[in-house]
Structure 1
Amino acid sequence: MFVNKAYRFRLYPNKKQEVLIAKTIGCSRFVFNRFLSLWNESYQTTGKGLSFNFCSSQLTQLKKELEWLKEVDSHALQSSLKNLADSFDRYFKKQNEAPRFKNKRNNVQSYTTNIEKKNQNPEVSIAENRLKLPKLGWIRFANCREVKGRILNATIRKSPSGRYFVSLLVETEVKEIPKTASTVGIDVGLKDFAILSNGKVYKNPKFFRALEEKLAKAQRILSRRQRLAIQQKRPLSEAKNVQKQRIKVARIHEQVVHARTNYLQKISTEIIKNHDIIGIEDLQVSNMIKNRKLAKAISEVSWSEFRTMLEYKAKWYGRQVIAVDPRHTSQKCHSCGHTAKENRQTQAAFICVSCGHSENADINASRNIHELAILL
């Protein structure tokens, strides 16, 4: 089976390449905003929007008027128009909100270039620790793994900390892994991240809590420097001490995100490889984080991201992920089936008031999830 897979690498551009990346991001944002404005005007006056082909032809004329648009990768500008068209398609299908204007102050700045050309030499090449990209030429990158498949496009991003990354989208073939004849249910929690029905427990490392004090201290320093710059009537973008501290804060956030993502990738892959059918709870996380007391803890564990990883990896490798109704899974006795709030004695203890069955509450819940998944 052929699937689209992304490979993400750290980029190390030189000063000239950094300037060109900044120009390309700015031009892509300009094109997106320009045609979004035209699209909105057309819809208000005629009741119809603009097609991608019309926008593409107008872009050709615009490049004749604005010479600086020719300095950057033309594929990136076309990609902005495709993103705009796709956004409106999804909007009219009620899959997302209407497209909004892009802001240069967004945390992450990026552009996408389509680098595939039929019957021609590809515009991207990899040679050891160097990557060739349109307009940028050869650029150093952290080549930590082999890229397998046909490269479709590349997205270059600049993070809030000033680091550069490239995501290569490739079309590659994945094969189903051997069956294990094993099924499992997973109960996610806050004390322990995931508890499997076979008794295996994945701890919750709490990456954010580990760096929370360091982050708070860095944010206080940033706040003081911002107030001082405002008192001195200096733009924050020109205050060097403010920008230095802003980067320190951003890097702490990135450290948390990267550590959490790496952990989720590892355990999701391990679960998918070892089990044919995986039962999970169909949790509405967006509603759960409305609880003020638990919002921070729930956001930190990233249950939704974990479920997404399980689902796409199951599709790749011939596994099955089944989401079950989460109601009563923690209150139902796995032994006799009796359901009552009183069964859950504490956060960790489960004692059935009907049959007296006693075990860890999370393991009992995961076994109920496993049972429901098998029945579906």
Structure 2
Amino acid sequence: MPLKGLKVRIYPNKAQKIKIKMNFGYNRFVWNQMLNMLIERYKNNPKAPFLNAYALNTLLPALKREYLWLKDAESTSLQATNHDLIEAYKKFFNEHKGFPKFKSKKFLKQSYQSKCVNKNIKQVGAKYIKLPKLGILRFKSGRPIPDKIKSVTIKQSFTGKYYAVLLVECENQAFEKTNQQIGLDMGVQDLLVYSDGTKVPTIRFDKRLAQRKHYWEKRLARRRLIAQKEIAWDKHNKVLNPRVLSDFVNYRKAKVMVAKYNEKIANQRNNYLHQLTTKLVKQYDVIAIEDLKTKNLLHNHKLARAIANQAWRELRRMLSYKCEWYGKQLIVVNPYKTSQICSHCGHDDGKHPLDVREWTCPSCHHHHDRDVNAAKNILTIGLGQALVKELSPLLLRLRTKKQVCNVPRSSVL
């Protein structure tokens, strides 16, 4: 059965909030201790073999005897922390990813993961959920929680909200086949342009709340300056316990308000993308999308803010897992020259400036909308890639059979 993530908001009481924060600290401490041990081990013997998660888990009892307060931690969460650390450590050597970093309580995102053992994670009634070490909490979700739960990840946002991300088993819910294909061109003025000419407009969620957000950003900057002056004054007069920025209540309030507006903008954008991608997966069986390098496009400082607001990578990620869930096909296409080749006759008209939104092919005199033409080319290339992928196993078998048939008889004898 496919595994899906279900994110629900939970409402812990004061005692449960303290337990959640303590578990954040326990897992952070174990991560840092184990990472330091791996670093020292590599320094002493660079040729030593990689340790697995089981080897780190065998060190947990000794660590708990040394630090007695670790016994209050949720045991499976410490095992999950060791597993994540080993995976990150291996990726650095095998895939040349970034080296794992030491965790700090100052990080904006805090979380820990617990495994489901003996149904210690389950829904209780219509509005409550039972979690390990926390007991029963009230939760809010748009859909009921399935019975088969693998694990739960407790998260706290910077604005003080708590979430539980449940990894659940769901039955395969494939959408009905429509025998329709579509090519998608992503842009700035229009978020998506379909190969049939439909255009999905861009909604600038960041501009809708820009005035309110700017109101609190100004106060945050002002309060930071005032706090920094008082901190400098404390150090100059050699106060025993000089204050830090987090000690100033007004500064913390402004910082949380700015974070709330950023969170609201992100939630509005994600909701819009979810509705759009679900509609696409329902209507089309094959979806061809261009592989844009957003990092390179952000070097254009005139369009960087607008490009970042589009969230093209998140759109592609949503389409990827939804196509896998619902039995549809997503094809990623290289966008090279898709906007300058005529989709009608294949003539290459050369590069056009960004302000040229329409052009006429000098070969077949067909008038094109720049984005619609690119979407048609993306669909054509995508269908070609899908055909090659389907035929490649057949061609390989035919080639092998031909080689066997062409073996000389003398060599067989």
TM-score (normalised: structure 1): 0.94
Map of 2:196 onto structure 1: 198
Map of 1:370 onto structure 2: 379
Amino acid of the residue matched to residue 188 of structure 1?
M
Map of 1:96 onto structure 2: 97
Contact kept? 1:187, 1:194, Cα under 8 Å: yes
Map of 1:285 onto structure 2: 294
Map of 1:29 onto structure 2: 28
* Structure 1: unaligned runs, 5 residues or longer: none
Map of 1:297 onto structure 2: 306
Q: Choose the corresponding residue for 2:345, options 336, 349, 352.
A: 336
Amino acid of the residue matched to residue 175 of structure 2?
I
For 2:311 and 2:334, how far apart are their aligned partners in 1? 19
Contact kept? 2:288, 2:333, Cα under 8 Å: yes
* Equivalent residue runs for 1:1-376 within 5 Å: 2-47=1-46, 48=48, 49-94=50-95, 96-115=97-116, 117=117, 120-148=118-146, 150-233=148-231, 234-341=243-350, 346-376=355-385
For 1:297 and 1:144, how far apart are their aligned partners in 2? 31
Superposed displacement of residue 284, structure 1: 1.6
Contact kept? 2:35, 2:85, Cα under 8 Å: yes
Q: Give the direction of change, closer, same or farther, for the CA distance of 1:335–1:54 in structure 2 (3 Å limit).
A: closer
For 1:326 and 1:345, how far apart are their aligned partners in 2? 15
* Structure 2: unaligned runs, 5 residues or longer: 232-242, 386-413
For 1:290 and 1:211, how far apart are their aligned partners in 2? 25
Contact kept? 1:108, 1:157, Cα under 8 Å: yes
Map of 2:411 onto structure 1: none
TM-score (normalised: structure 2): 0.86
For 2:310 and 2:330, how far apart are their aligned partners in 1? 20
SS at match of 1:148: coil
Bigger radius of gyration = 2
SS at match of 1:193: strand
SS at match of 1:139: strand
Contact kept? 2:122, 2:147, Cα under 8 Å: no
Q: Give the direction of change, closer, same or farther, for the CA distance of 1:238–1:344 in structure 2 (3 Å limit).
A: closer
Amino acid of the residue matched to residue 284 of structure 1?
K
SS at match of 1:341: coil
Larger CA deviation: 154-163 vs 54-63: 54-63
For 1:277 and 1:291, how far apart are their aligned partners in 2? 32
For 1:50 and 1:251, how far apart are their aligned partners in 2? 41
**Root-mean-square deviation (Å):** 1.7
For 1:345 and 1:357, how far apart are their aligned partners in 2? 20
Superposed displacement of residue 67, structure 1: 1.7
- Runs (4+) of structure 1 exceeding 6 A deviation are 342-345
Superposed displacement of residue 261, structure 1: 0.9
Larger CA deviation: 210-219 vs 220-229: 210-219
For 1:271 and 1:260, how far apart are their aligned partners in 2? 17
Map of 2:391 onto structure 1: none
SS at match of 1:167: strand
For 2:352 and 2:366, how far apart are their aligned partners in 1? 9
For 1:300 and 1:276, how far apart are their aligned partners in 2? 28
Q: How many residues align?
A: 372
Q: Give the direction of change, closer, same or farther, for the CA distance of 1:279–1:366 in structure 2 (3 Å limit).
A: same
Superposed displacement of residue 65, structure 1: 1.9
For 2:321 and 2:102, how far apart are their aligned partners in 1? 31
